[in-house]
Each structure stands twice: as C-alpha cells, then as structure tokens.
Structure 1
Amino acid sequence: MGSVRTNRYSIVSSEEDGMKLATMAVANGFGNGKSKVHTRQQCRSRFVKKDGHCNVQFINVGEKGQRYLADIFTTCVDIRWRWMLVIFCLAFILSWLFFGCVFWLIALLHGDLDASKESKACVSEVNSFTAAFLFSIETQTTIGYGFRCVTDECPIAVFMVVFQSIVGCIIDAFIIGAVMAKMAKPKKRNETLVFSHNAVIAMRDGKLCLMWRVGNLRKSHLVEAHVRAQLLKSRITSEGEYIPLDQIDINVGFDSGIDRIFLVSPITIVHEIDEDSPLYDLSKQDIDNADFEIVVILEGMVEATAMTTQCRSSYLANEILWGHRYEPVLFEEKHYYKVDYSRFHKTYEVPNTPLCSARDLAEKKYILSNANSFCYENEVALTSKEEDDSENGVPESTSTDTPPDIDLHNQAYHHGFKYFCNTLLGILYDDFVKTLLPWTLFLHFFMLNDYSDPRLLR
C-alpha cells in the first residue's frame, strides 16, 4: 500500500494480554488516565473450565457402583475408550471361559474324558478343557472348523449350544451399540465450536452491553443453534442462608428470539445491561473487584447425526475487558465472504467508553462524549479493501505523500469533507438540470426557428 496506517487502539491478542490490561491505566477521555484499577489477588475457582468441563468432584455417594451398573449402557458410553476396550475383551473372554467350563463339565459327567470308554460322546472330539474352550469359541463366533460338534446323545449339550448362541448375539449387539453410540456422541463436535478468550463490555446503540464471541470451525452447520448464559456468585439471603453458587439467568434475547443464531461465521452475542440485568449496578471498578463467573452455553443439533450437542465456557470477572470491542473477522470479497480466525480472540480498546454503571448511565449521572471518532472496524475494513485492490492491480485512491502517522480523526474529517463536496456538487447539478437546462433548450429552440424575426412577431 502507498500509506502506512497507524492506530491508537490497544490490541489484545491473548489471555495474558487481557490480564495485563486489567491493571493498566485507563485513558478514555473522562479521567486523567493515571489511576490504576487493581484486580483481586485471589480469584475464585472456576465452576466451568474454559474447555467446558465442570470443575466438580462427587464424594460420599452411597451405592455408587450399584447405581452405575443399573445403567450399564450409559456407563459404557461415558467411560474412556481404554476402559471400553477392556470391557469389550472381558465380555467375550469371560463368556468363552464360562461356556467352555460348562461343556467340559458335561463331558466330564458323561465320561467323555475317559479315553477307554467307547460310548458316543455329547460333544465329539472334546476330551479336555482346552478342547471344550475351543468348542465354546467356535460355537459363539460361528467359526466351525468341523472337528468338534455336538451330538444328539446329550440334550443338555444341545440346549447349551443354543443358549450360548443367543448370549453371543446379545453380547455382540450390546458391544456394537455401545461402541457406535460412543463414536456418534456429539461431544467431539465441541472441538470445532469456540468461544472468545475474553468477554467485553462496551457501548452499543447507546447502552452498555456485555458481549462475547462464538464461532464454528466446520462448514457443516449447527441446526437450531441457540445460546444461554448464567451468572454464578455466592450470596447470603435475608434470612442469613449462605448460597455458594447462586445461578442468575442473563438475558441474551430469549423473549425476542435473537438467542437463536445462524452460526456460519463468528457471531458476537450481546447482553444488554438493563434494569433486569445482574450487572446493572456494577461499574468498571466494581467488576474489577467482583467475584463471580459467567457461564455461557451454546446448544444445537449436529447436522450429520441430528443429535443435540452443548458447548460450554465461562468468564471470570477478571476476564471481562471493560471498554473493548472485538476486531472484525468477516470481510466481503468479490464473490464470497472471508473469515479471518486470526482475529477471533483479539480486541481493541474504545477510549470513550463510560466507566460508570448502567444505572448511572441511564439516570444521566454520566455525560457521554459527543466526539465522533473513526471506528476501528471501519479502519480494518478499509485497510482490507485497499489491500485487496492493490493485489488486484486497482490504483489506490489515497495519495502516496500522505503522512504515515496521520491521525484517525483527520482521516474522518478528510472523508467527511469529500462527502460534503460531492453532495454539494450533486445538489448544484440537480438544480442545473431542473432549472437552467429547460431554459437553455427553450432559447436554443427559439433561435433555431428564428422566432426573433420581427416579421414573425407581427
């Protein structure tokens, strides 16, 4: 590009940068910018980790084993794959051993193990425990090598062959069902659903709003996707009861339906901090010193399997950046839209964000600045557009002798002056077309027909 753009916005690219900004001086045009706001030294333990796992351990659960065995299928689906493999192997080996012992006992009681006996055996060629075990495997897996087979000498042996075949089918169905259910679990779909590292609070449409960003890394859609949020904090009731984790709903548009999202490109979820919000009375300093956790939940159906999945994350108070917005990630190209995920977690500081609570802002106790600064999203979009034009060989509209450190306010005034000039020229042109042009055509027509001749005026 012909000019180098600089900006005065603070960019947050990681969680560490967000933690540093929590103790940096804030210069927003309403303070001296010298005071520092310190966060709490000790933060509360997370109830929900950043990866969505709940930080909870159950202790002193009575009859835990019996309860888990009563729902053995769900237990097999929930356990790790290594334990699933162990159960898979043990189920078959134990069944083979059990029926091998049964056939060995039948042969022992019938006297088939005695080599001197010439009577017909219950199971031919079964004269040892190893042979009985091999016959059990051949029966359950339907291998059938042909050397060992059951005869009609012992009805109990025939019954056990039928019974083992049924048990083998049940084990196969159970194991295959558990493995397939475990493979089809939508839990792994959460690996391609991401939340931003930090939440932000900034002005939007004249109101303070809490915002966080969600994204889908796959091209397959999340059907009926919707979001929820809850604020978790401890409190003491008026009766003196201590509630360690009081759950308060955070409205993200359930009543109006805007909680349902079309998650193709990253979307910023907005919670308007109004009189019904639990954050209504909290200022920047209050949030920096607060001890709460905001749990955010994204739910939807996986397009491939139609199974419901739930992706979770959380934000502690020190992970909420006051006076920040997210960098834009969606850019319009010639025939498509481009999503730049390198900007997904990045934020920039908005200098004129008020530091007071939403209540004070609503009661006009805080005067908003009327300064209209050039928005950072517009700068990024303009820069991206100029980069695309330069790559495609389109001449740049900006002059090459523009100072590289031009202030963003001057850029805004420059664009505004150009817009004013273009508008004025358009108005003058319209007046010329509507007023002067008809008279000009009339005079021209008058002269062509020689109406100025005195003889024609008699």
Structure 2
Amino acid sequence: MALLKRINPFLRQNNDTGFGVNANGYGGRFINRDGSFNIRREGRSFMHRFNIYHALLNVPAWQFAVVILLFYFSINLLYSGIYWWIGYDDFQGIIGKTPWQRFKEIYFFSTETFTTVGYGRVNPVGDGANTVAAIEAMTGFLSFAVATGLIYGRFSKPRAHLLFSDNAVIAPFQDKTALMFRFASYKENHTLTNVEVLVTLGLQVQENGNAVYKFYTLPLERRHVETLSMNWTVVHPIDEESPLQGFTSHDLETADVEVYVTVRGFNDVYANTVIQRTSYTYDEIVYNRKFVPMYRESDNGKTTVLELHHLNKTVEV
C-alpha cells in the first residue's frame, strides 16, 4: 500500500503492453534476458505447440550442427537396418566376410544412396532393396533441400546483434538521479540506423486489497539516435515524472520491479528493420554505481576503439 501512495497518481500508465495486471498469474520475469517471453503454453499437445522450424532457426550453431549430424547418422542407420532385414543377398559387390563387415558395407551404401553419390561397387539387385533404395534417394534430396533452407534461414535471418549491459544502474545524473543501462552493436559493419528505444516499467502494487501490476512507459533523456556506431547509454531521469521517484532498493524488491527494453532499428546489411529485447529485474538494478567510458582513441590516433569488454564495467559513485 505504501508503494501505491508514493507513485504519482497522475502519471500516465501504459495499458498496451500485452501483459495482464493480475499479479497472481505471473511467475518470475515478463521477458528473459535474451529477449524471449517468459511464457510456457499448456492445454494443447506438445507436438501441436512445438515449431521445429523456429527451433532449428534459433538454437545455437553447435546444437544445430549436432541435430544435423544426428539426423544424418540415424536415418542411415534406420535404412541400413531395413536393408539388413531384407537380406544382403539382395545386393551385389559385398566383399565382407563377417556380419559386422557386411553391415558396414550396407551402411556406407545407404549413405551413398541418401546423398545420391552412388559410387557403384555395392548395388541392389533384388526388388526389395531397389524399392527401399529408391525411397531413400527421394528422402535424401528432400532432406538436403530442407537443410539448405534452414542453413540459409539461419545465415540470412535479420538480427540486431546487440549486447546489453548485465545490470542497470541508478546513480546521480546532472542535478538528480537516473536509471541507466547501455548497449552496443558487436558486429563489424552492422551499424544500425534510425534507432529507437522503448523502456517500460512494470511494478506490483496493492489496489483495493489485491496485488496488481502497473505499467509505465519511462520518459528518456533521448529515445532516438540516427546511427548506433558506438555504444548508447539509455538514461531515464528520476524526477516528478518518474514512477521510480523516491524508490529505494528495498522498494524495488517489494514492488517486484522489472524494466523491459525494446530496441528497433534498420540494419543496412540485412536491409531490414530489426528488433531486440531484454529486461532488468529489481535484483539486476544496482544503486550508486556508474558506467565507465568504453571507447578510446587508438594508439596511432587515427580511429576510435570501442571496448566491448568494458560494457558491464562500473565504478562506485
């Protein structure tokens, strides 16, 4: 109740966030640090909810490579098992003497058929083996078409390529205090243009005896920049127009404060508008620390060096 009283009732709320106000219906944060929404859907079967195309486009590169390799070896192992069940007498050119040697030859025949390489020493002569080989060849080129589309999609998917500071800070700013965080583009030649940032505050208050969430679009010192060639420290001055006025770190925790961020800009490399999100919960907002500069002049004095390893570096005020 005390938190509700200290928030200026005339501050304009943001009722278009897409999040509900019922505090009992939420667990944890609204948006994860990687920008994904902290929501799990239930009520339909997993296969109905699962999107394999989206999953394969967004998993880390090493996981994508593992999936491709596992699929390749598994599908060939499956077809080898079918050939083995039909019998190696349906093949000619097999020179192995032991069951293991013959199975290896059949397995490598499967890989050659699947990839449509077809070296030719081992080939099917029976109707059963020929039928399975024909189906496998079709499975192979269809699988490679899908894999090619996924690889192209992963490489060509428009991304913002932004790094956000691990923490937001509340520190003196001019003649007042301010909430600040910063971000920078980490890819060479991926300068964003016409960049806009939207910062929304979500906090929990008591209203008519019930815990509810209120959302406020935070006024910023600067909401738009023409180009993001360096880092950008986003500043929300904490004054009479701020719902954070008078808040302590204990108040942030009591109100379950979360600050979520949306950055939108035009990426020249992809020739497309890109969006990236993140959020800061109350335990990721620190008081009385400020960011240190993260750029310097090069040793020869001819260029500017952006020190990305200093993105999270702060000093005590």
Normalised to the residue count of structure 1, the TM-score between the two structures is 0.47
* CA pair 196-215 structure 1, distance change in 2 beyond 3 A: farther
1:418 counterpart residue number: none
Residue 171 of structure 2: which of 189, 200, 221 is its match?
Answer: 200
Residue 145 of structure 1 is aligned with which of 119, 129, 133?
119
- Structure 1 268/86 Cα, relative in aligned 2: closer, same or farther at 3 Å? closer
What residue number does 2:142 align with? Answer: 170
Shift of 1:229: 0.9
Select which of 211, 222, 235 maps to 2:205: 235
CA RMSD in angstroms, aligned pairs only: 4.6
Residue 96 of structure 2 corresponds to residue 96 of structure 1: no
C-alpha deviations, 1:355-403, integer Å up to 9, x for none?
A: xxxxxxxxxxxxxxxxxxxxxxxxxxxxxxxxxxxxxxxxxxxxxxxxx
Structure 1 stretches of 5 or more lacking a match? 1-44, 114-121, 350-458
Residue 135 of structure 1 is matched in structure 2 by 109
Deviations 1:218-268 (A, max 9, x none): 552124422121112112334x4423x543322338xxx943452123333
Distance 2:66 2:185 in 1: 35
Cα deviations across residues 403-451 of structure 1 (Å, max 9, x unaligned)? xxxxxxxxxxxxxxxxxxxxxxxxxxxxxxxxxxxxxxxxxxxxxxxxx
TM-score under structure 2 length normalisation: 0.63
Q: AA paired with 1:250?
A: L
**Match of residue 71, structure 1, among 27, 51, 54:** 51
Is this contact kept in 2: 1:216–1:266, CA < 8 A?
yes
Alpha-carbon separation, structure 2, partners of 1:217 and 1:82: 20
| Cα pair 2:115 2:141 within 8 Å, conserved | no
Q: How does 1:72-87 map to 2 (within 5 A)?
A: 72-80=52-60, 83-87=63-67
Provide the residue aligned with 1:252 in structure 2. Answer: 220
SS in 1 for 2:112: helix
Percent of aligned pairs with the same residue?
18
Q: 1:161 aligns with which of 130, 133, 137?
A: 133
Query: SS where residue 290 of structure 1 aligns?
Result: helix
Residues in 1 aligned to 2:311 and 2:66: alpha-carbon distance in whole angstroms = 44
CA distance in 2, matches of 1:86, 1:270: 42
Distance of aligned partners of 1:62 and 1:125 in 2 relative to their CA distance in 1, 3 Å threshold: farther
For residues 72 and 266 of structure 1, the distance between their equivalents in structure 2, rounded to whole angstroms, comes to: 35
Deviation at 1:133, TM superposition (A): 3.5
Following the alignment from structure 1 to structure 2, what is the Cα–Cα distance between the partners of residues 139 and 329?
A: 55
Q: What is the aligned length?
A: 276
| Residue identity opposite 1:93 in structure 2 | F
When residues 124 and 50 of structure 1 are mapped into structure 2, their CA distance, relative to the original with a 3 A threshold, is closer
Partner residue in 1 for 2:3:
none
AA aligned opposite 1:234: Q
Shift of 1:198: 1.8
Give the Å deviation of 1:46: 7.3
CA contact (8 A) 1:103 1:132 kept: yes
1:73 Cα offset (Å)? 1.7
Question: Pairwise mapping of residues 300-315 of structure 1 onto structure 2 (< 5 A)?
Answer: 300-306=265-271, 308-314=274-280
User: What displacement does 1:217 show?
Assistant: 4.6
Alignment pair present for 1:298 and 2:250: no
Equivalent in the alignment of 2:233 = 268
Structure 1 residues 218 and 77: CA distance shift in structure 2, 3 A? closer
Within a 5 Å distance, the mapping from 1:358-377 to structure 2 comes to none
Deviation at 1:166, TM superposition (A): 1.7
SS at structure 2 position matched to 1:312: strand
The structure with the larger Rg is 1
Distance in 2 (CA, whole Å) between partners of 1:251 and 1:103 is 68
Shift in Å at residue 159 of structure 1? 4.4
Partner amino acid, structure 2, of 1:269: V
Match of 2:184 in 1: 215
**Aligned equivalents of 1:329, 1:146: Cα separation in 2:** 61
The Cα shift of 1:96 comes to 1.9
Alpha-carbon distance in structure 1 between the residues aligned to 2:133 and 2:207: 67
Task: Give the number of the structure whose residues are more often helix, by fraction.
Answer: 1
Q: What letter matches 1:247 in structure 2?
A: F
Determine the C-alpha separation between the residues in 1 that align with 2:66 and 2:306. Answer: 44
